[in-house]
Chains A and B, each alone.
Chain A
């Protein structure tokens, strides 16, 4: 493992808080993990950690998952195997929220307590599935929609999505993306659905609480997970959690929950750290080319947070 001079030498999981007491299965977990051992996901994949958190949160629930085209459906492996310890429908790219709508209605028609969960990437959420998602939210379908946001079209090899941040190099933005990412949490909150929240993988207790709340709640619920992708972000797999923590400390990632599109709760008050901001960008090779003006970015963040705290 190579490190630049600024970063201290670290071993995986050393110097980090243990994640939900570590990644191992334990008593409180779902009998069958949502993401089974032996899956072929990359090391340091934020999406995989999110699935493990879901596994713990859903311990008491019967769940059905709808996964559109994204890394998470490649995760399943090929027929007849499945890396998922849950029933899954592999939906067409833009259809997750609509297929889930049908399943949720069938559960209701038959008096079943099954929770229907969409597990989708940013491409299927911010881009191609946006209309479907918006419509399901408007109808207030009884669906839990979870977007794991790796800010890139991951399983097609790393192209820009409308979630890719300013300055990030992708295979279709060779000089770095020249516009900012969408505010998906704001967009979903504008639908005034019962529950919208953002989850930090570096704050597992908060994340777990939100997943459990969202699983118990009725109506349309939207969760956003910032999910580092070492392959696309050109970062070290061991830095996955650290990157999320830096995103929170620097104010890049807002950890909040919004009830009925009205009541906003900031769950983690960011220190808006300048050094965390520098480090967040320095740890990711994808920002190297763009020569970002961190001062300007920080000013934008300060303004955004002033409004959030107001």
Chain B
């Protein structure tokens, strides 16, 4: 275990490199990479690593980056790439394909505003656009989590009960470009944590077609298998958490992370780095005698419905802070959380920090105060923080 002063982009690249080397006794590692701000430093560092039995292919687009990863993965190699924003939009067709092929590819996604107008700062709308793609999605809160979750993602994705690709999401610049002392494990420990990938349906010599035509009933059955795999994620993730803690001595975050929720009357739900700002605002409100609580959604896909339902049981006032906007609906997290709250609960949507606006504790305090006074849920509100 070494401590390194690195950005979350570099943390992801180093974690991917460790995972890559861990598959040297398997069928190796491969990656298709393409630059886009604010993810570029990740793939730059990856391109500078010596990986035994691994190749990084510098392609001409995100669409091909994912296609190359699919080629590596369907051949049985471990695979990783990174992207962001419009790159993810361009890649989208193959993002869906990777999940439908059931390929355990790990992608680090730096959340960035979709353009135009062009804006390189944080917004969760890019990966949320892919929420129906069949990928597992995890939204990190800090640099260490980016490193740890990237490593854990390979173990989770490659588990035979899962075999689904995973997006490890992090907030642009707030994490991607901020240097933080980060613990990176030794290769020997990673080797212990990550067994070589043995993809059961890899393309070998047997005549077959992977990803060919399906009639309606076959489509239903294949989708049913994907749903089953998604349903297995919670159990497998718990095992991965236990193994991670045992081997690395550090805990992975739970699918949802509550903060001072037990006796809370007002709860703020959020994802990514907003959750840490919420914690500060909750503490401040508690000091004023307001029984506030925070709830962070780490795993957005599969949607931790049961866990959220249990956490929000009895909570009559819930505010959801989205860092994304679906015009014509509101926040995407809000729309989904509405389905797991207590019947009759007031669930108010707030959209804060889109386009990279700096969400500060004072903004969250304002949201909390408004929520306390609110008697009926209103249309989702954009909180101007820019």
A95 engages B209 (CB within 8 Å):
no
Q: Which of B74-82, B242-250, B261-269, B339-347 is near enough to bind chain A? A: B74-82
Q: Is A110 an interface residue (CB 8 A)?
A: yes
- Tell me the smallest distance from the CB of B177 to a CB of chain A, in Å: 28
Write out, one digit per residue, whether chain B residues 208-234 have a CB within 8 A of any chain A CB (1) or not (0): 111111110010001000000000000
Most chain-B CB neighbours within 10 Å: which of A62, A84, A106? A106
B212 engages A73 (CB within 8 Å):
yes
Q: Is A273 an interface residue (CB 8 A)?
A: no
B60 to A, closest residue via Cβ = A135
Q: Is B256 an interface residue (CB 8 A)?
A: no
Q: Which of B62-70, B160-168, B281-289, B350-358 is near enough to bind chain A? A: B62-70
CB within 8 Å for A101 and B68 given contacts A94-B63, A106-B28: yes
Q: Is B1 an interface residue (CB 8 A)?
A: no
A90 engages B28 (CB within 8 Å):
no
A104 to B, closest residue via Cβ = B71
A94 to B60 Cα, complex, angstroms: 12
A105 engages B64 (CB within 8 Å):
no
Write out, one digit per residue, whether chain A residues 74-99 have a CB within 8 A of any chain B CB (1) or not (0): 10111110101111111110110111
Q: Is B176 an interface residue (CB 8 A)?
A: no
B59 to A, closest residue via Cβ = A135
- A95 is contacted by which of B73, B75, B94 (Cβ under 8 Å)? B94
Q: Which of B11-19, B50-58, B374-382 is near enough to bind chain A? A: B50-58
CB within 8 Å for A132 and B67 given contacts A88-B210, A102-B30, A110-B27: yes
- A110 is contacted by which of B28, B68, B215 (Cβ under 8 Å)? B28
- Tell me the smallest distance from the CB of A137 to a CB of chain B, in Å: 11
A309 to B299 Cα, complex, angstroms: 65
B68 engages A102 (CB within 8 Å):
yes
- A105 is contacted by which of B57, B61, B215, B222 (Cβ under 8 Å)? B57
Residues of chain B within 8 A of A214, CB atoms compared: none
Residues of chain B within 8 A of A135, CB atoms compared: 59-61, 64
Q: Which of B130-138, B184-192, B198-206 is near enough to bind chain A? A: B198-206
Residues of chain A within 8 A of B97, CB atoms compared: 92, 95
- Tell me the smallest distance from the CB of B69 to a CB of chain A, in Å: 7
Q: Is B93 an interface residue (CB 8 A)?
A: yes
A102 engages B70 (CB within 8 Å):
yes
Q: Is A9 an interface residue (CB 8 A)?
A: no
Q: Is A212 an interface residue (CB 8 A)?
A: no
B72 to A, closest residue via Cβ = A102
Q: Is B258 an interface residue (CB 8 A)?
A: no
B94 to A, closest residue via Cβ = A92
Q: Is A64 an interface residue (CB 8 A)?
A: yes
Q: Is B32 an interface residue (CB 8 A)?
A: yes
Q: 6 A–B contact pairs at CB < 8 A?
A: A77-B213, A90-B209, A98-B64, A101-B68, A102-B72, A109-B28
A-side residues, CB < 8 A to B, are 32, 62, 64, 66, 73-74, 76-80, 82, 84-92, 94-95, 97-110, 114, 131-132, 134-135, 139
Q: Known pairs A77-B212, A82-B209, A98-B59. 18 more at Cβ < 8 A? A: A73-B209, A73-B212, A76-B212, A78-B213, A78-B218, A80-B218, A87-B208, A90-B213, A92-B93, A98-B71, A101-B57, A101-B67, A101-B68, A102-B70, A102-B77, A109-B55, A132-B61, A139-B58
